[in-house]
Amino acid sequence: MNSLTLPQLPYAYDALEPFIDKETMTIHHQRHHQAYVDNLNAALQSAGETSTDLDSILQRISEYSPAVRNNGGGHFNHSLFWEILSPQPKLNPEGKLAEAINTSFGSLEDFKAEMKKAGLGQFGSGWVWLLVKFSGSLAITSTANQDNPMMDTQSVNRGFPILGIDVWEHAYYLAYQNKRADYLDSFWSVLDWSAVEKKYEEALSKIR
């Protein structure tokens, strides 16, 4: 089996300051994400799994061990998270995604408010997501631990995640301490909507 590897960040660890600090980015990527990759490779090998198609594995995650679920989700979720952040982000969505957000949530500001509400409402560790449901519509959901909307263990709002905010404390605690709301507000300053638009198009192509 080919081993999964830690993706390199497309920017320096200090590039997202002051919104996400260098120390948090370094620890988050080099330690937390690396641990998910290492543990996932070990769990897949132990299960005799020869595929490294993580999308396929997550969509039938109920067939796997908790180790594959936790670490597979951790690897997928963090890989998406790094991809949608940028030190020079496109700060507003355009085109089809902007239209879909307005249709589903009323406005971009209303959407952000709903994401913040979901992020604050997630008890303990987890994520808040914007996803494309298998029907093609947009939805907001939150998941515990390292679960995500692609997993067949999700009873509602299953689909393809295109934007995820990590609300584990290790994602923000060094700079924001217990002020998760401040972290959620700052997130939009480094979210690159061009990356989210690309993921939106990719998600739609999978369900057409």
Nearest Cα residue to 158 out of 184, 132, 181: 132
Is 170 assigned a ligand-binding role in the annotation?
yes
Nearest Cα residue to 145 out of 161, 169, 162: 169
Is 166 assigned a ligand-binding role in the annotation?
yes
Maximal CA-CA distance, the chain: 47
Q: Is the peptide bond before 149 cis (omega within 30 degrees of 0)?
A: no
Alpha-carbon gap, residue 38 to 47, rounded angstroms: 14
Is 28 assigned a ligand-binding role in the annotation?
yes
Place of tokens 């406005």: 107
Annotated binding residues, written as ranges, equal: 28, 78, 166, 170
Annotated binding residues for Mn(2+), written as ranges, equal: 28, 78, 166, 170
